[in-house]
Amino acid sequence: MNRFINCLAASFRIFKKWISGDYSLVMTYWVTGVIPQVVIAISIYSFIINVIGQSTDPSALMRPFLTLAAFALIYTLCSYIAIVCSAVKYSGPKVWRILAILVVVRGCIELVKTVIFFIQELV
């Protein structure tokens, strides 16, 4: 049990460093931002096409889909916060800081549009 608590505490410390922008902008943007977002997008599209599209009762699969979408939403918001915090702390060329923040703003706009679309589809 003690080992589990230590592992949980270490994970929380890593998460806290990540979300507060203590890792480099390159790592935060690419390794914990872009690459996981691509994997999440491919997972969601694969689920829609291969599972819901092939099902005789797509409504039965809404709960797993919404769970996957909720995870994607939470992770995306956390990664956006981490990227902005890392960009603010970035001491390199100012252009990378500005571009990272602009990409996050654009991503937030797209995220809001996607959430509105899914809400309209569910209602």
For 54-104, the pLDDT digits (tens) are 777 777 788 888 888 899 999 999 999 999 999 999 999 999 999 999 999
What are the residue boundaries of the structural domains of the chain, listed by start?
Answer: 2-122
- Listed residue (41, 45, 44, 25) closest to 104, CA to CA: 25
- Listed residue (26, 34, 38, 13) closest to 80, CA to CA: 34
For the entire predicted model, the pTM comes to: 0.89
Query: How many whole angstroms separate alpha carbon 100 and alpha carbon 51?
Result: 35
Query: How many whole angstroms separate alpha carbon 66 and alpha carbon 118?
Result: 10
Query: How many whole angstroms separate alpha carbon 101 and alpha carbon 120?
Result: 29
Q: Each residue of 93-114: pLDDT tens digit? A: 999 999 999 999 999 999 999 9
Residue 123 pLDDT > 90: no
Helix (H) or strand (E) holding 23: none
Whether residue 115 contacts residue 122, with contact meaning beta carbons closer than 8 Å, is answered with no
